[in-house]
Chains A and B, each alone.
Chain A
Amino acid sequence: MTQQLTQQQLDELAKDLDAIRDEVRADLGERDARYIRRIIRLHRTLEVGGRVLMPFGFIPPVFVAGVASLGLAKIIENMEIGHNVMHGQYDWMNDPSLHSQTYEWDTVCTGDSWRQTHNYEHHTYTNVIGKDRDYGYAVLRLSDDEKWHPLHLLQFINYVMLTVFFQWGVGLHELESERIRRREIKLSDKKGFLKDFFRKGGRQAFKDYVFFPLLTFPVFPIVLAGNVCANLIRNLWSSTVIFCGHFTEDAETFTEASIEGESRGHWYLRQLTGSSNFTGSKWVHILSGHLSHQIEHHVFPDIPAHRYREIAPRVEAICHKYGLKYNTGSFGKQYWTVLKRIGHYSLPDRVRMKLEAQAT
């Protein structure tokens, strides 16, 4: 564990990281604007391409192309455009269509709900058990901070359901169903949220499962199936990327007590050690919305994401300077550790300890 940094070291850590942030901020300009506009152009092209190809999906290769095109469009829009725009990475451009507070993305979760649960809660209380509800999404036990329960034996089923229906899970995240179950809050407290949820969810379902299929009536089963597949691809990919960001083997968790009155340096420390990266080609980075650089993203959530690739070596060097683990590895390796973690923590503590002891 890494909590041994002294306050002085934490202050220095903050200063080192602030210096990178200030440098990149001062350098933002034309290049970043051109980058995001090019990505948006690609998204529009893929979306139009996917919608046009889909009705011709009775020809199998065209079906595959249509699904791939629409699936990629949704992935790019959610990951590299929507998520990053809503973080305020492009607010400095003063372009109303890229404004963090008004952007609405192509998924069930409303922009407002996301800005609350993700931008605010998750990014502030990263991996603080009990405060960061993204940690396990309240359906997975991923650390021994949570007491084991026999039902956890089945949590792999939860995981599969969550990843398949990810957009609906994220959309309902703010409902805090676990707190409703524990009777800490009432369903009626969430009336406003539910109204927005049904409006946005209805809008998304209408578009993909009613409007476009009906528009192409004679071939509607093909279009419907294609749209379901495109959404599924996006769900699987985005959930996997996100799981690799915080649930890998060595990603640390924190207690509420440890963050009381914390300094900026300690917040930085939490972001560095609670997140994990994975390596890959340029397109892996783009399709993950640069969450392949989850560490850089958590340290600098409002810096245009394509910059993460450039500053990563410097962030890694800072980690080494303070003796912190810079948690990275291949996509396959990181994902395997996520699956292992889900599996391990589904077991009673005694069994898990025994297994872990054997492994080392």
Chain B
Amino acid sequence: MLSTRNTHASLRWLGKQLFNREDPGAFFDPLLAVLNPMWVRGFVPARLLEVTDETADTRSFRLRPSPRWKGFRAGQHINIILEADGVRHHRTFTVASAPRQWDTDGTITLTVKRHPGGRMTNWMHDHLTPGTIVGISQAFGDFELPEADVPLLYIAGGSGITPVLSHLMTLADRDFRAPVTLLYYVRTQADVIGAEILYALASRWPALTLHVYRTEEEGKTAFLNESHLDTVPGLRARQVYLCGPKGLMDLAGDLLHSFGIKDDQIQTTFFSAPSAVPADTPLGGAVTFGRSDKTVDAEGDAPLLEIAEAADLKPAFGCRMGICHQCSCRKTEGTVVNRLTGKASGPGEETIQLCISVPQGPVTVDL
């Protein structure tokens, strides 16, 4: 093991000398891509096998990653790398399938809902056809299953169901014995994502209690409220997983606290593009880009990435939603507010993600 690593290290060193790049393996990608696009080294290629409709605006994409992909744990995400009109885009999606599917047939499923006005989700629906090769990253994220059989509560909204699907299928395979409750909020019955899987699980796996609330069809009582939580037996002992739109998550958090559930019992995972920070924080300020010797005035909740781009700088970027760290950069001075968490940073030098950092007063960035 050690010897192969040494060989790799020396080969890599040699590759750097010969090809003048930090990732010498990718030097031949332009040729490999012609011979067999699944051989490229610059990212992990994955072949799209199948596209299926989940609902009117949600589709599942079944992918076969190249053998270099290291697999994933239930609830983890991947970045998908897509090229639209010559521009490379990175987007983060949760793997909706269970690790067992990956173990048995080497495929994974991403379930993607069209975001109104969203650029890439719509592009994926309109342009991705079976046979296309896309890039993916290794899996990441810590929306982890419990090790022991402890009682669980899932609260999911809309397409926030995807990590929950992966979790539930994995728990069912594990023959998980402790009670599991899912409160799933959708607009109408037709918006239920993974309906087949959910109802099949509910009928064959006795530990699962499934409640689907259809907010548009059932009216006010179907919005998350105390009575929904009252129906969950032994609520205070449950480990809670949240995934859904911000409004639902905030409400769930408040309600759970009022039921005496502590923060360390609750896990939240990434859902979609972050929304703005609370309005009571005074945001904006003079942003100085140290390396370019430029200062611009920023107003409102524009993140530094957009401010930099508006100032004609071209910082590296990736997902633009705080996940992939492609745009990470040194802040040398000033305070920024993290759009995802709403938390203010310290005033000193630190690495920040430009795409989710909103200046709060004057800020200097090493760009």
Contacts and interface: CB of A to CB of B under 8 A. Distances in A.
A206 B17 contact: yes
A99 B316 contact: yes
Interface stretch (B22-30, B181-189, B294-302, B333-341): B22-30
A207 B85 contact: no
Contact of B87 (A94, A102, A206): A94
A71 interface: no
Nearest to A51: B18
Interface in A7-37: 28-34, 37
Interface in B19-78: 20-23, 26-31, 34, 42
- Mostly, the B contact residues are mixed
Contacts of A104: 20-21
A95 B30 contact: no
Interface residues of B, number: 25
Interface residues of A, number: 32
Contact of A92 (B28, B34, B87): B87
Contacts of A101: 316
B226 interface: no
A165 to B, nearest CB: 20
Interface string B303-346: 00000000000101110000000000000000000000000000
Contacts of A99: 316
A56 interface: no
B149 interface: no
B100 interface: no
Contact of B86 (A32, A206, A211): A32
A268 B297 CA distance: 27
A174 interface: no
Given A94-B317, A97-B26, A105-B20, A29 B86 contact: yes
A207 B28 CA distance: 17
A147 B150 CA distance: 87
Nearest to B83: A33
B88 interface: yes
A93 B20 CA distance: 21
Contacts of A31: 86
A61 interface: no
B77 to A, nearest CB: 20
A48 B87 contact: no
B26 A48 contact: no
B89 interface: yes
Given A41-B31, A45-B31, A99-B316, A28 B18 contact: no
B144 to A, nearest CB: 30
Contacts of A92: 86-87, 314
A163 B31 CA distance: 32
A31 B85 CA distance: 8
A94 B18 contact: no
Contacts of A102: 22
Contact of B18 (A30, A88, A100, A207): A207
Contacts of B85: 29-30
B20 A95 contact: no
A106 interface: yes
Interface in A37-94: 37, 40-41, 44-45, 48, 88, 91-94
A44 B28 contact: yes
Contacts of B29: 97
A37 B30 contact: yes
Contacts of B316: 94, 96, 99, 101
A48 B317 CA distance: 32
B315 to A, nearest CB: 9
Given A91-B314, A211-B17, A44 B30 contact: yes
Interface of A: 28-34, 37, 40-41, 44-45, 48, 88, 91-97, 99-102, 104-106, 203, 206-207, 211
Given A33-B86, A44-B31, A96-B42, 11 more contacts: A28-B86, A31-B86, A45-B31, A93-B87, A94-B87, A94-B316, A95-B88, A203-B17, A203-B20, A207-B17, A211-B14
**Closest 9 pairs between A and B when the two form their complex, measured CB to CB:** A33-B86, A29-B85, A104-B20, A94-B88, A41-B30, A29-B86, A30-B86, A91-B314, A40-B30
22 contacts: A28-B86, A30-B86, A37-B30, A41-B34, A44-B27, A44-B28, A44-B30, A44-B31, A48-B31, A92-B314, A93-B86, A94-B316, A97-B21, A97-B23, A97-B42, A99-B316, A100-B314, A102-B22, A104-B20, A104-B21, A106-B20, A207-B18
